[in-house]
Structure 1
């Protein structure tokens, strides 16, 4: 088994650096490697673009994260905070929330959730100039409260030392503090009164904003459990299938490239076009690399992983590390299956030999030879083997003797 793998690896390595079984010169090899890197970068760029062709769960359900955050919050001001999100500062020449959600559909497959569009419609109704002014007024008064609270902290930091200076009888002009103890106390009281006034005004403005008809309808919509359940279910289902959809599109992008490179490589080998055969072989490798990487990435985050995660969570509770054991067993089995598939159907030496004999090509290197040549003039490979039944010469690697039809042992 190891010897066979070593032989396959040597054949693979030799094909990447030889033309017509002749070693490639260093300059040509460097040029081909640079071409490989350039193509590989563009392949990954293409894969990235096509993977975003279908709407992501976030794009299809743009209201889910905001809505879920609102429902899980326990703060007193959560109604005001969700309404404030519907009131951005700069609204000049900006599309509405509904238009923003619908823009995600442009040039993509999939549709934005109608419930999220309805959600955006409620937000657009709240986003009026009058409500914008209310938000700006609240923010200005909140900034004033922050300034007053900072001033109070500065005064309190100096208050203890000014009080000690007064008890010690130190003259005011020798004090290191800017404000006397009596004055500091007055300033603190005055600032606290202003803070209390501003907080009352802010509370009134917030209550006025929340009690407006458009806000009341929006909050009632947010508290509709049936609507949220619909969104949550759709989002989770989209998240479950999205990696599979991405892999499907990425495979759709790579398969035509792989098939074209494989066809060109076989054609070039049959016709003896060494350089084309070498380049197409490199392209075939380059197109397979990202496909294999994407398959392994899918196995880590795709529907299979989520299924295993759910099963183990249901059966074993917190023993999620068991997923690692399953992957340790699953990945080698998958790799073994892929190897067997390509050996059996794609790179099967007997199938290749049959096609090469039909096309008067060497059964080893696929170069064109004359029909009765015993050895290939390109690679020196002996084409025949003695039949175990009739002892006549028949083609190597083919299952039956061309003279007596007896089955040839492999």
Structure 2
């Protein structure tokens, strides 16, 4: 097996830096490498673009995160908080929230959840000029409360020093504090009264906002358990399949490029077009690298990982590190099976030898040779082996001797 890997590695390196078995000069090699880097960057850019073609779970269910956050909150005024959030849209945007959700579908695969569209429609009804003005009034009053509380904190912080100044007999005009000790309590009481009045006004405005028909309709949707369960299940299902959809789209992008590069490479080798063969080989390698990386990335987040994750969670509970153990065992096993498959079926020397004898080509490098050449003039490979029965020279890798017809062991 190691001999096979060394031979394949040698062939790979030989194809990557030679034209018709002649090494590239340094300038040509640098040009090839620069082309490889440029194409690789563009391949990854294309992969990134096509992976975003299908709507992501957060795009297909844009209301899920906000809705889930509302349901998990335990604060008393969470209804007002989510209505306030619905009223904080960008006024410069000409599209409402529902139109923004629908616009996401354009030039993308997939559909936005109808429940989320209804969710957005209810928020758009809330987001009118009257409610916006009510929110601004509430915020202005809250800012006044903050200012008054800060003033109270300053008065309390300065009270001790003003009291000392009074005991020492310092004239009021020379005091470093804004309010004297005798007026501190009066100002504090007045500020507290103003704060209490503002808080009552804010509570009244908030209740009025919550009592609006559009608010009660939106809150009723938020509290609808059945609708939320549908959105949650849809989001979880979309999250489960999204990595698989991304891999499928990325494969659709890469496979045509790989097949074209493979076809051109084989055609160029058959015709002896050395430079075209070299460049198409580099393209083939460049296109294969992202595909292999994306497959390994998928194994860490895709359906297979989720399947193993669910099994480990069900059987072993929190011992999720066992998923890594399974990968460590499974991936080499799968690699062993793939190598065996290619050795026995795709790259089987005996299968290749049949076509190469008929076309008078070298068993090793597939270059054109004369029919009776014992050694390949391109790579120096010996083409024959001694028959174990008649001891005549017969072709390597073929099942029967060309002289006596007896079965041969492959070498």
TM-score (norm 1): 0.94
Matched residue count? 410
What secondary structure does 1:85 align onto?
helix
Cα gap change, 1:254 to 1:351, in 2 (>3 Å): farther
Q: Deviations over 1:316-358 (max 9, x none)?
A: 2221222221122122223333333443444443333333333
Q: Could you tell me which residue of structure 2 aligns to residue 366 of structure 1? A: 366
Structure 1 position 3 matched with structure 2 position 14: no
Give the Å deviation of 1:387. Answer: 2.8
Cα gap change, 1:249 to 1:404, in 2 (>3 Å): farther
What secondary structure does 1:385 align onto?
strand
Q: Could you tell me which residue of structure 2 aligns to residue 118 of structure 1? A: 118
Q: Deviations over 1:74-104 (max 9, x none)?
A: 1112101111222135335521211111111
Structure 1: distance between partners of 2:200 and 2:23: 86
What secondary structure does 2:407 align onto?
coil
Which runs of structure 2 are paired with 1:185-224 in the superposition (5 Å)? 185-224=185-224
Q: Could you tell me which residue of structure 2 aligns to residue 298 of structure 1? A: 298
Q: Deviations over 1:176-198 (max 9, x none)?
A: 32321123333222222222222
Structure 1 position 282 matched with structure 2 position 282: yes
Which runs of structure 2 are paired with 1:78-93 in the superposition (5 Å)? 78-93=78-93
- Alpha carbons 1:269, 1:365 under 8 Å: kept: no
- Alpha carbons 1:270, 1:361 under 8 Å: kept: no
What secondary structure does 2:394 align onto?
strand
Cα gap change, 1:170 to 1:245, in 2 (>3 Å): same
What secondary structure does 1:406 align onto?
coil
Q: Could you tell me which residue of structure 2 aligns to residue 18 of structure 1? A: 18
Structure 2: distance between partners of 1:405 and 1:287: 44
Q: Deviations over 1:137-170 (max 9, x none)?
A: 1122222222222222222222222123223433
What secondary structure does 2:365 align onto?
coil
Q: Could you tell me which residue of structure 2 aligns to residue 30 of structure 1? A: 30
Q: Could you tell me which residue of structure 2 aligns to residue 257 of structure 1? A: 257
5+ residue gaps, structure 1, are none
Q: Deviations over 1:18-51 (max 9, x none)?
A: 1111111111111101101001011111111111
Q: Deviations over 1:192-234 (max 9, x none)?
A: 2222222211111111111111110111111111111111111
Structure 1: distance between partners of 2:89 and 2:234: 31
Q: Could you tell me which residue of structure 1 aligns to residue 245 of structure 2? A: 245
Deviates more, 1:10-19 or 1:166-175: 166-175
Give the Å deviation of 1:237. Answer: 0.7
Structure 2: distance between partners of 1:332 and 1:400: 36
Give the Å deviation of 1:363. Answer: 2.0
Q: Could you tell me which residue of structure 2 aligns to residue 139 of structure 1? A: 139
Cα gap change, 1:222 to 1:25, in 2 (>3 Å): same
Q: Could you tell me which residue of structure 1 aligns to residue 51 of structure 2? A: 51
Q: Could you tell me which residue of structure 2 aligns to residue 272 of structure 1? A: 272
Structure 2: distance between partners of 1:293 and 1:56: 21
Q: Could you tell me which residue of structure 1 aligns to residue 228 of structure 2? A: 228
Cα gap change, 1:268 to 1:357, in 2 (>3 Å): farther
CA RMSD of aligned residues (A): 1.9
Cα gap change, 1:30 to 1:381, in 2 (>3 Å): same
Cα gap change, 1:322 to 1:205, in 2 (>3 Å): same
Structure 1: distance between partners of 2:89 and 2:286: 49
Structure 2: distance between partners of 1:152 and 1:337: 77
Structure 2: distance between partners of 1:174 and 1:163: 14
Cα gap change, 1:344 to 1:268, in 2 (>3 Å): farther
- Alpha carbons 1:105, 1:111 under 8 Å: kept: yes
Give the Å deviation of 1:68. Answer: 0.6
- Alpha carbons 1:353, 1:364 under 8 Å: kept: no
What secondary structure does 1:33 align onto?
helix
Structure 2: distance between partners of 1:175 and 1:351: 104
What secondary structure does 2:379 align onto?
coil
- Alpha carbons 1:43, 1:287 under 8 Å: kept: yes
Structure 2: distance between partners of 1:182 and 1:344: 101
Structure 1 position 127 matched with structure 2 position 110: no
Structure 2: distance between partners of 1:193 and 1:407: 109
TM-score (norm 2): 0.94
Q: Could you tell me which residue of structure 2 aligns to residue 351 of structure 1? A: 351
Q: Deviations over 1:378-401 (max 9, x none)?
A: 223232323333444333233333
